[in-house]
Amino acid sequence: MIMVNNPIEEKVMAQINSGRVKLRSRYIFLAEKFGLGSALALSVLLAVLFFDLVFFYLKSSDNLGYLSFGSYGWLAFLESFPYGLVALLLILMFAAGFIIKTSDWAYKQSFGHLAMALVGSVVLAGTVLAFTNVAEQIERAAYGPMGPGRMFRPLLERGINNRQRGLAGKVVVIGRDFVVVQTPQALITIDTSDLTRVPDGLATGTFVMSVGDRFENTFKAKGIRIMPDEEAPMIRRGVGRRFDFFPLPPPLMTK
């Protein structure tokens, strides 16, 4: 049998023997693949968590409630929208997609199908997670005295911050042409003088939602309604944290 030398093989072996080309062990390849897989798994898990937090925010804050006021409520809706949570969710989704695109998986299957599977998996898992109390536990930890959960506070803070176009809080004083409410941040006087009527059943202890314009600690209302007991629990918990621990007397009203 006649052996024919392969010049390409000889050239490669010469490069290896000279040390200019180094062989990489199977362990290194496995470590790289494992690291890529871990990064993908972490991105997907965090995306699922933030999908749950977005869902929780929309369900628990006053954000969607402003849409019931029609055109007056759109500015309050946009002002209270969870932009930070949504941005992080999209960043994590794009990161997971980028990892998939740059890995071997994208060559074996259609990237479009993989992207659809990724989005579907995040939505499905996030929806399932929404039926648990994970997000509520994160909210509780975010407003706790210490611990890693406090890193979530800036992302959830928007749900209870004072707004310029909208307001939700607990009624503590009712007067002629005004209502004083406790919000998660402060006592606010709602000026109702421009309203043709106030809602029936308005009483101290009820929670109300209003749209209009804020001027320091006075809110000029263009619309106001009583909130059902199950609406905006994040606002209710925020009011409880603010005034159960640091109660303030209602201001003296002269109207």
Chain centroid to Cα 50, Å, comes to 6
pLDDT value of residue 156: 93
For range 44-65, the mean pLDDT: 95
The CATH fold assigned to 162-245 is OB fold (Dihydrolipoamide Acetyltransferase, E2P) (2.40.50)
Which is it for strands 207-215 and 178-182: parallel, antiparallel or unpaired? unpaired
For range 21-26, the mean pLDDT: 49
pLDDT value of residue 251: 44
For range 201-210, the mean pLDDT: 94
Cβ neighbours for 13, distance < 8 A, ≥ 6 positions apart: none
Torsion over CA: 102, 105, 111, 113 (sign) = negative
Flag whether pLDDT at 102 surpasses 90.
no
**Average pLDDT over all residues of the chain:** 83
Structure tokens at 57: 């925010």
Flag whether pLDDT at 170 surpasses 60.
yes
Portions of the chain given CATH number 2.40.50.140:
162-245
Kindly indicate the confidence band of residue 249, based on its pLDDT and cuts at 50, 70 and 90.
Answer: very low
What's the N-to-C CA distance of the chain in angstroms? 112
Flag whether pLDDT at 217 surpasses 90.
no
Structure tokens at 82: 């969870």
- DSSP letters, 43-74, are HHHHHHHHHHHHHHHHHHSSTGGGGGGGGGHH
Backbone angles phi, psi at 186, to 5 degrees: -170, 175
Q: What is the helix (H) or strand (E) element at residue 42, kind and residue range?
A: helix 26-60
Kindly indicate the confidence band of residue 254, based on its pLDDT and cuts at 50, 70 and 90.
Answer: very low
For range 102-128, the mean pLDDT: 79
Whether 47 contacts 120, CB under 8 Å: no
For range 122-150, the mean pLDDT: 89
